[in-house]
Structure 1
């Protein structure tokens, strides 16, 4: 495998404000420039945006530099996947039509170089968080989405941006390691291993870079977020690594 596969999540573009988001967008584009020569596939694993909703002919303004860079990479033959997160679950077909990005609604199971991967944003998995799991079903319900789409975009985006402002990222909430026995995505991964073997489980959503050995031949990696860590995963055909982007190094 001459080229590499990259995984990143939780850019939360749009939060906590325009200026900070623009700086982060520029950093992310710099990272994309850095990985592009070695990249065969790019997995954007949810919450790329702190809020996203596609109306029939309207999308949230901004983020044009990221979209332009992704379009350029896709045109160059790099396969790009976009996972729906809990903040951008209302992505529909805009990025597919305009850029050629494949949208993933839930999990993706795949094999690369005889390694089996289980990929998911991470929201709604594992024990607990029953309130969000209920809300996730409501937010993903087509009728509920239609009701929201009936609102004029100015009103709908105002409501959504207010909700987005209460997010963990917008409030700079720092996450701490809970111990392997309490990390709900590690618990979920161990339960899945009882059903089938996976070499790697890769999630976002947790906002904390983690690399946990589940068994002798299975690992759980959380690829973190891009406000505090600038972390990402990279698979070179032999090994999956958790890395951090420092444009000054």
Structure 2
């Protein structure tokens, strides 16, 4: 999919991912949500577009007449920004892939499930969540196809929300982002699957920037001679995001 922006007109594009709202507990998640809302407030005057690159929620499933409760501050802020005319796009991640029409219908925020090519002037950016890309992780790639299947979604929808969301919240407590003592470490370029993926892709098509989430580690690494791979990190430990001014992408940390 391709999206073109002719000029930013002195505005900037912001990228953030992996808020993982909902874990490890209500109080911690709420504090993080308030921090994210404060960040959105801080960038709204400069924002041309805001791209949320997946795993915003640690779990999300839209039943026909129900969604997971909570997150009202974030949802309200996103609605406010959209009503003010700021474009926002949402990429599904491996934790919130079961998003359907709620965001497009209620918030006027489009949903993307695959990486997007973004052309700004003469530059090209490839953006997305990043799960399932690159070598390895074959079991997850199989699970992703199953979870994305209509049969799996239909099957889960048959479970009462109290039980279905309860099961999902139990799983979330065992996820890697919930284990606060487990640190993410740089694996060396060859051990960074998204970096390997970007390098292979760069041999076929040139992109000035590759911007992904999923990795949970803020990264800014060279790709070939004239490209860079940016990972936006996560908001449980780092509070990092990326900002693009039409020429360069920079990783930044939000501090209240």
Q: TM-score range by the shorter chain?
A: over 0.9
1:181: how far off? 1.9
Partner in structure 1 of residue 51 of structure 2: 43
Contact 2:21–2:57 at 8 Å: present in 1 too?
yes
**1:155 aligned to which of 153, 157, 163:** 163
* Equivalence map 1:209-220=2 (5 Å): 209-220=218-229
RMSD of aligned C-alpha atoms? 0.7
Secondary structure at the counterpart of residue 181 of structure 1: helix
1:207: how far off? 0.2
Contact 1:125–1:184 at 8 Å: present in 2 too?
yes
Structure 1: runs of 5 or more not aligned: none
Q: Distance in 2 between matches of 1:56 and 1:125?
A: 30
Contact 2:202–2:224 at 8 Å: present in 1 too?
no
State the TM-score, normalizing by the size of structure 2: 0.95
Secondary structure at the counterpart of residue 73 of structure 1: helix
**1:115 aligned to which of 123, 128, 134:** 123
Q: Distance in 1 between matches of 2:211 and 2:35?
A: 23
Partner in structure 2 of residue 240 of structure 1: 249
Partner in structure 1 of residue 111 of structure 2: 103
1:238: how far off? 1.5
State the TM-score, normalizing by the size of structure 1: 0.98
Q: Distance in 1 between matches of 2:47 and 2:20?
A: 22
Secondary structure at the counterpart of residue 62 of structure 1: coil
Partner in structure 2 of residue 71 of structure 1: 79
1:237: how far off? 1.1
Q: Deviations over 1:138-190 (max 9, x none)?
A: 11001110000011111111111111111111112210001112211000000
Contact 1:113–1:238 at 8 Å: present in 2 too?
no
1:93: how far off? 0.8
Partner in structure 2 of residue 17 of structure 1: 25
Contact 1:232–1:242 at 8 Å: present in 2 too?
yes
Judge which range, 111-120 or 48-57, deviates more. 111-120
Q: Deviations over 1:80-135 (max 9, x none)?
A: 00000000000111011111001001111110122101111010011111111111
Q: Distance in 1 between matches of 2:236 and 2:170?
A: 20
